[in-house]
Amino acid sequence: MTDAKKGFPENFLWGGATAANQLEGAFDADGKGLSSADMVAYVPKAERSNDHTIEITSGRIEQILSGEFKARFPKREGVDFYHRYKEDIALFAEMGFKVFRLSINWARIFPNGDDAEPNEAGLKFYDNVFDELHKYGIEPLVTLAHYETPLGLTQKYNGWASREVIACYTRYAETVFRRYQDKVKYWITFNEINMMTLSPFTGGGVVIDRAENKLQTIYQALHHQFVASALATKLLHEIIPGSQMGCMLARMESYANTCNPEDVRLNQHENQMNLYFTDVHARGEYPKYMDRYFAENNIVLHKEPGDDEILKLHTVDYVAFSYYMTLTVSASPEGERAQGNLFGGVKNPYLKASEWGWQIDPVGLRIMLNTMYDRYRKPLFIVENGLGAYDKVEADGSIHDSYRIDYLRQHIAQMKEAILDGVELIGYTSWGPIDLVSMSTSEMSKRYGFIYVDLDDDGNGTLNRSKKDSFHWYKKVIASNGAEL
Ligand code: BG6
């Protein structure tokens, strides 16, 4: 329980969050198989048809595998955490991290996703990483699936479109729960599970041109992920007593553009469509409002006997989410559109935006935390938040990222308000504590880190690490448990 008068509780988990495919590199080292992220090529902004480059067709996969399609694949290289994890973790420790969020790259453990035996070298790598974290008293927070579906599962089953993948996932989950039972207490089943509706390839290794009916396939694949998530939660509780399983959502708190009831109703619908994912995970059942959506879109979910019971019995222990922006919706076709990582909406005139057009809304974080806590009454964990920005390295090597400090300071201040409002918030891991490859654009120049990595969009650089001004600032925030912002 939190002490409402004090703000951040004593054991608050401060840290940073990453994903294997954006961080590690070494994409084919020590027996690792290819994953969905390894198929994502870098496309310079001028040549992009939209703001992201992550949805891949079956034809493109064939061209990549045959060598016909030549490109750079930055997520294969990451920022070389695979070889530099000791140096990087020492820097996290210097900032005082209590927790470090990372994902296990499924294809390091099961290179094809359904291999008879796990890959020992892959398991050993994460043993080393967890040991290094514990050396400094840093708690690992592990995402089982962060856009890294083994490509073998795409080729064989069209990824999560097939129910077969549930068993592959639970085997993978059981393997890592048993292996790391003394090392990892906090887990997340799927990163931003709602990604499936936006990029099925990213969210679940589903190549949508192989599906007969897009929406049907997406919601069926999600059903498979929900069941897999509940089964993994069951396994975790059996294997690691006292462990905590979380679900994870790209939370898009949505505002109505005006008080016109048409806008308000549309806004209610937008929020429901986003909260649907956490509703299933935290309440253990499909929300009623989805019945109409499914009926009107000719979606018929194929459930097996027992699925509903599995969802009901094995709900998550905490609800985690990313928070970068809010959305404003209008029932009118007029109005300038806003940009987001993958979401749209109209521009909110009260908000400034990042250089990538993401609308910055610290107060929205407080609103969202209250909404989520009222709805679920489960502990909340902000496992991603941050500002992607261009950084300038001065002649003496220093980096004055006051814009990043401002962004984080304002968001953390609103977290504190939410805690005072009564919200049970257990931790905060800002996105990309060390610069890493962008998920949506594969750029390196879109930087989130407290730690700068010398690497540019074309893959040039020494990979050397250096501290930005925000490094020293975040260290003070953690040391003062959020009192000094
Ligand atoms: C989240 C993802 O959507 O946003 C991360 O979980 C991602 O993987 C982060 O990196 C920031 O997005 P981007 O596109 O700026 O890297």
Residues whose CB is less than 8 angstroms from the CB of residue 326 and which lie 6 or more positions away in sequence, other chains included: 252, 253, 254, 255, 348, 351, 359, 361, 364, 367, 368
Task: List all residues 6 or more positions away from 378 whose beta carbon is below 8 Å from its beta carbon.
Answer: 282, 316, 317, 318, 319, 424
Pocket residues for ligand 1 (CB within 6 Å)?
19, 22, 191-192, 250, 322, 341, 384, 388, 431, 438-441, 446
Query: Per-residue pLDDT for 160 more than 60?
Result: yes
CA 438–ligand 1 middle distance (angstroms): 6
Residue 240 CA to its chain's centroid (Å): 23
Confidence of residue 245 (pLDDT cuts 50, 70, 90): very high
Token representation of residue 193:
């599970």
Query: Rounded to 10 degrees, what is the CA torsion of 404, 50, 436, 456?
Result: -90
Which residue has the CA at smallest separation from atom 8 of ligand 1? 439
Task: Give yes or no for residue 1 having a pLDDT over 50.
Answer: no
**Sign of the torsion formed by the C-alpha atoms of 260, 266, 268 and 271:** negative
Closest CA to 297 of 405, 220, 232, 408: 220
User: Contact at 8 Å (CB) between 407 and 360?
Assistant: yes
Region 431-444: mean pLDDT is 97
pLDDT of residue 5: 60
Supply φ then ψ for residue 104, to 5 degrees.
-90, 130
318-322/244-250 β-pairing: parallel
CA-proximal residue: ligand 1, atom 4 (nearest): 439
* pLDDT of 373 higher than 50: yes
Answer whether 126's CB lies under 8 Å from 104's CB: yes
Cα-based torsion angle of the residue sequence 239, 242, 243, 248 in order, rounded to the nearest 10 degrees: 130
138 Cβ contact list (under 8 Å, min separation 6): 15, 89, 92, 93, 97, 98, 99, 100
Coil, strand or helix at 485: coil
Contacts of 396 (CB under 8 A, 6+ apart): none
- Find the catalytic residue in 384, 417, 443, 484: 384
Above 60 in pLDDT, residue 342? Answer: no
The 3-state secondary structure of 430-470, one letter per residue: EECCECCCCCCCCCCCCECCCEEECCCCCCCCCCCEEECHH
Distance CA(128)–CA(110), nearest Å, equals: 18
Residue 282: both structure tokens together: 């935290």
> Is 384 in the active site?
yes
- What's 171's domain CATH number? 3.20.20.80
Query: Residues 65-81: pLDDT tens digits?
Result: 999 999 999 999 999 99
Give the Cα-Cα-Cα angle 46, 355, 275 (nearest 5 degrees). Answer: 105
**How far is residue 119 from each of residues 106, 123, 175, 291, 394, measured CA to CA in Å?**
10, 7, 11, 42, 44
User: Which domain does 110 fall in, by range?
Assistant: 3-479
Say if 378 falls within a structural domain.
yes
Residue 309 domain-assigned (yes or no) = yes
Q: Is residue 281 part of a domain?
A: yes
Q: What average pLDDT does the chain have?
A: 95
The pLDDT score that the predictor gives to residue 53 is 81
* Range 210-231 average pLDDT: 97
DSSP character at residue 116:
S
Query: Does residue 368 belong to any structural domain of this protein?
Result: yes
Average pLDDT on 405-427 reads 98
Output the pLDDT for position 2: 45
| Buried residues in 42-53 as b, exposed as e (16+ CB within 10 A) | bbeeeeeeeebb
More confident call, 100 vs 341: 100
Which of 189, 322, 442 has most ligand 1 atoms within 8 Å of its beta carbon, as the pocket-test mutant?
322
- How confident is the model over 35-91, as pLDDT tens digits? 999 999 998 888 887 777 888 999 999 999 999 999 999 999 999 999 999 999 999
Q: Identify the CA nearest to 180 among candidates 129, 219, 233, 247.
A: 129
User: In angstroms, what is the span from residue 51 Cα to ligand 1's centroid?
Assistant: 13
Does the pLDDT value for residue 340 go beyond 70?
no
pLDDT in tens, 161-194: 999 999 999 999 999 999 999 999 999 999 999 9
Going from the Cα of 241 to the center of ligand 1, the distance in angstroms, rounded, reads 31
Q: Which two tokens stand for residue 450?
A: 């407290």
| Per-residue pLDDT tens over the stretch 103-157 | 999 999 999 999 999 999 999 999 999 999 999 999 999 999 999 999 999 999 9
Range 435-464 average pLDDT: 97
Residue 436 Cα to ligand 1 midpoint, Å, equals 10
Q: Which atom of ligand 1 is nearest to the CA of 52?
A: 14
Average pLDDT over residues 215-227: 98
Establish if 170 belongs to a structural domain. yes
For residue 210, what are its two tokens? 């192989």
Number of domains in the chain: 1
pLDDT at 333 (0 to 100): 76
Q: List, as one string, the DSSP characters of 207-249.
A: -GGG-SSHHHHHHHHHHHHHHHHHHHHHHHHHHSTT-EEEEEE
- How far is Cα 333 from Cα 481, in angstroms, rounded to an integer? 46
Q: Is residue 403 part of a domain?
A: yes
pLDDT of residue 7: 86
Question: Could you count the other beta carbons within 10 Å of the beta carbon of residue 302?
Answer: 10
In a domain, 485, yes or no: no
Establish if 434 belongs to a structural domain: yes
